[in-house]
Amino acid sequence: MHDIRTVTGPLSPAAVRGPALAHEHLALDLRRDADRAAVLDDAHADAVTRELTELREEYGLALVVELTCRGMGRDVAALARIAKDSGVPVVAATGWYYEPFHPSEVGDAGVEELTGTLVREITEGIGPERVLPGVIGEVGSHGDRPSEPEVRTLTAAARAAVATGLSMVTHAQLGRGGPAQLALLTAEGLPPHRVCIGHQDLLHDPGVHRELAEQGAYVAFDTVGKESYQSDATRLRLLLALLEAGHADRALLSCDVSRHGYLRDEGGQGYGHLFRSFLPRLKAAGVDDDTIDLMTRRNPLRFLAGARTEEVA
């Protein structure tokens, strides 16, 4: 199992002894018009760092997968500072979000050109700091089938993943479109065990979750605590159904903090909601500690390392 690329250098999966957050944002800017709610910038960095530090100290938080990509206000220098100050390694990402947030560079650029952009970032690094991304994502689509620009960005991401060995996380808007995403990605030769289909806890369809897992993809329950989108009670039911179907080895968990209002400093549920609230409810429902370790540590490590079978004790 190869090392995981973090913003502060390579990390051996065997060295990660605590849980990971598989889908978060520590620095982003998704503002549209005058809406500054979907922003995490320098004004919030201290609060973000404080939360990660507390989670490392209290729950052993050992890794954060940060999925802010091109056009989302990605700031790898901020990620490096937060990682160093909190003591929590952070994985940076590359790719393109879903169509409403595509930067002008996507335009009518061909798949080959878009693939080249991603491969350059993966091999040469991001920005003047030359930070190496450790994952491709969150590459998005909306609706049951990707739009034409989204087909191009998803195809380019798949080809870059095949060329470089990185794994890939999708953004399935409101949980929809996962099967179409997986079909497109695997058609490009990307093995399903290197694909994580995002936001499936927003899709009230256990059959789709089982279908994705049976094909070998990871199924992300990654908006835990976002009660305005879906109740945690429903998330719990959907996840338990996936576990009962025998697919604990395909589940990834996170909170997807994407607005400063979600921070604990501002009265939100914070990055720790998974540990403070959701995992205790899973345990109360009969899920054992080994299964929780599988979903929160071994699965994300295996996914990031592109390993087909479990190699992390």
Q: What is the pLDDT of residue 311?
A: 56
| Residue 128 vs residues 85, 125, 138: alpha-carbon distances, Å | 21, 8, 22
Q: What is the pLDDT of residue 295?
A: 98
| Residue 148 vs residues 108, 111, 155, 252: alpha-carbon distances, Å | 10, 11, 11, 28
Q: What is the pLDDT of residue 271?
A: 98
Taking only the tens place, the pLDDT of each residue in 198-256 is 999 999 999 999 999 999 999 999 999 999 999 999 999 999 999 999 999 999 999 99
Q: What is the pLDDT of residue 35?
A: 74
Q: What is the pLDDT of residue 33?
A: 74
The H-or-E segment that residue 220 falls in is strand 218-221
Q: What is the pLDDT of residue 310?
A: 58
As given in the structure block, the two tokens for residue 69 are: 């990509």
DSSP state of 26: S
Strands 93-94 and 90-91: unpaired
Instruction: Report residues of the chain scoring pLDDT below 70.
Output: 34, 309-313
Let me know how many helices (H) and strands (E) the chain has, helices first: 11, 13
Instruction: Give which of 180, 185, 183, 139 is closest to 162, Cα–Cα.
Output: 185
Q: What is the pLDDT of residue 307?
A: 87
CA 94 to chain centre: 11
Q: Is the whole model's pTM more than 0.95, yes or no?
A: yes
Instruction: Give which of 178, 180, 169 is closest to 202, Cα–Cα.
Output: 178
Q: What is the pLDDT of residue 303?
A: 98
